[in-house]
Amino acid sequence: MNHFSYRKRVLHAEEVPLSAIADAVGTPVYVYSTATLRRHFRVVTEAFGSHPHLVCYAVKANSTLAVLRLLAQEGSGFDIVSGGELARVKAAGGEPGKTVFAGVGKTADEMAQALSAGILFFNVESPEELDLLDAVGRAQGKRAPFAVRVNPNVDARTHRHISTGLKTSKFGVPFEETVALYARAKRMKGVQAVGLDCHIGSQITRTAPFKAALSKVGGLYKELKAQGHALQYLDVGGGLGITYTEETPPTPAEYARTTLSAVGDTGATIIFEPGRLVVGNAGVLVTRVLFRKKTAARQFVVVDAGMNDLMRPALYDAHHGLQPVVQRRGQEVEVDVVGPVCESTDVLARQRKVVLPKQGELYALMTAGAYGMSMASTYNSRPRPAEVLVDGAAWRVVRERESVEDLWRGERP
Ligand SMILES: Cc1ncc(COP(=O)(O)O)c(C=O)c1O
Ligand SMILES: N[C@@H](CCCC[NH3+])C(=O)O
């Protein structure tokens, strides 16, 4: 459920026509809906009912300050993977005490910043990382709270680029080595085990992989508790998929039921780290048609957004819905919607049936709120898009379009 819909043939974000935003701010522009963000967060947290839990929104999905602030106001915690994300959470008014820190390559500086900020816990991904965290903790005269991210060796049955829970993946500690790592941690003075963590991948559209991973992880949690580790948190990661085209992922309520039936009896506070589920359908990328171009093989529509602005189609062959901002009647033709970037993979929408647009008309690439702007780059020296947040009939620019001067800030010719 989202708040992007047609009114009198014009696509609106809540009560604002996307054409009005594009005309005022220029294109490409990301547009987010406050009502959708709020609704998604509430549906997710309410799904766990009265079971002790904390939703830690995965900042990497969309790290724009205004989005983080809105979620912080809703009571969200955060899942971060860098010092930069920690700084963003703090700048947006998020609470470090409700923030967990994952990632296979944390530096000593990042650990020290997070520990002094009072982070909830670190998700440790290797024995050497645990040694470094121990040193950082001792240097501050503290015990750094941690959970081991265990790799349960489960196939998430998602795109191979976004699967993280197989034994060939770089993420987490092998299942069989986890008990020994907790035992070793017990002898350290700079760390304190507080939980257990796993995350098996992203855009997961069935419950079976979650069930398989959680039954292993739930068993391990109980075993660790029985060995005397005073664990309190079971972090089940993120990864619940959304509908881009025809996927029918479990609803948050179904997901929560699956989770609680697998690990509800552990007595742990459940930490859930959704990213895409919260922001994916809350954002669109609005782009303007530059040229139509016909070759013997294809009808192309060249738009002013490229793979640098929305990388998912080029990176994962991902599908994003393509909607004209103003609907027009006419004969449909099959087109490839392509960006200006000098790469053959710069195809935002492939072989779609549309009424051939005129130059200057607008398209919205749907479901672009997650891993859109946060993965944007300046490749081809293209300044990154502006971002707008709509709230009812009001809207505001929450990030200015990057300027050419921004592109070379810090450079010394
Ligand atoms: C550790 C961790 N937690 C949470 C997420 C969020 O994933 P998603 O956006 O699929 O919910 C990710 C990304 O896959 C992740 O790596
Ligand atoms: N960036 C990916 C998901 C990776 C999730 C991060 N662990 C996407 O757009 O689908």
62 Cβ inside 6 Å of ligand 2: no
Site residues for ligand 1, CB cut-off 6 Å: 58, 61, 79, 102, 199, 202-203, 237-239, 273-277
What's the confidence (pLDDT) of residue 156?
Answer: 78
Q: Per the annotation, does 172 bind a ligand?
A: no
For the stretch 320-358, what's the b/e string if a residue is b when 16 or more beta carbons lie within 10 angstroms of its beta carbon? Answer: bbbbbbbeeeeeeeebbbbbbbeeeebbbbeebebebbe
What's the confidence (pLDDT) of residue 165?
Answer: 67
* Nearest alpha carbon, ligand 2 atom 4: 162
Q: Which two tokens stand for residue 274?
A: 């959704």
The closest ligand to the CA of 375 turns out to be 2
Classify the complex by whether its ipTM is higher than 0.85, answering yes or no. yes
Tens of pLDDT along 102-154? 999 999 999 999 999 999 999 999 999 999 999 999 999 999 999 999 998 88
The verdict on pTM exceeding 0.90 is: yes
H or E segment at 301? strand 299-303
How much distance in Å is there from the Cα of 13 to the middle of ligand 2? 25
Tens of pLDDT along 52-87? 999 999 999 999 999 999 999 999 999 999 999 999
Q: How far does the chain reach from its first CA to its final CA, in angstroms?
A: 49
Q: Per the annotation, does 6 bind a ligand?
A: no
Sign of CA dihedral 86, 89, 93, 98: negative
Which residues belong to the active site?
A: 342
For the stretch 45-70, what's the b/e string if a residue is b when 16 or more beta carbons lie within 10 angstroms of its beta carbon? Answer: bebbeeeebbbbbbbbbbbbbbbbbb
The closest ligand to the CA of 367 turns out to be 2
Whole-number Å distance between alpha carbons of 75 and 219: 30
Q: At 10, which amino acid appears?
A: V
65 Cβ inside 6 Å of ligand 2: no
Q: Per the annotation, does 30 bind a ligand?
A: no
Report whether pLDDT(228) > 80. Answer: yes
Q: Which residue from 399, 404, 393, 409 is spatially nearest to 3, judged by alpha carbons?
A: 393
What's the confidence (pLDDT) of residue 289?
Answer: 98
Peptide bond connecting 274 to the previous residue in cis, omega within 30 degrees of 0: no
Instruction: Give the mean pLDDT of 222-236.
Output: 98
* Nearest alpha carbon, ligand 1 atom 12: 238
* Nearest alpha carbon, ligand 1 atom 4: 238
How much distance in Å is there from the Cα of 202 to the middle of ligand 2? 6
What are the backbone angles phi and psi of residue 169, rounded to the nearest 5°? -85, 155
Q: Per the annotation, does 312 bind a ligand?
A: yes
Whole-number Å distance between alpha carbons of 99 and 242: 24
What's the confidence (pLDDT) of residue 160?
Answer: 77
How much distance in Å is there from the Cα of 359 to the middle of ligand 2? 33
Strands 53-58 and 10-13: unpaired
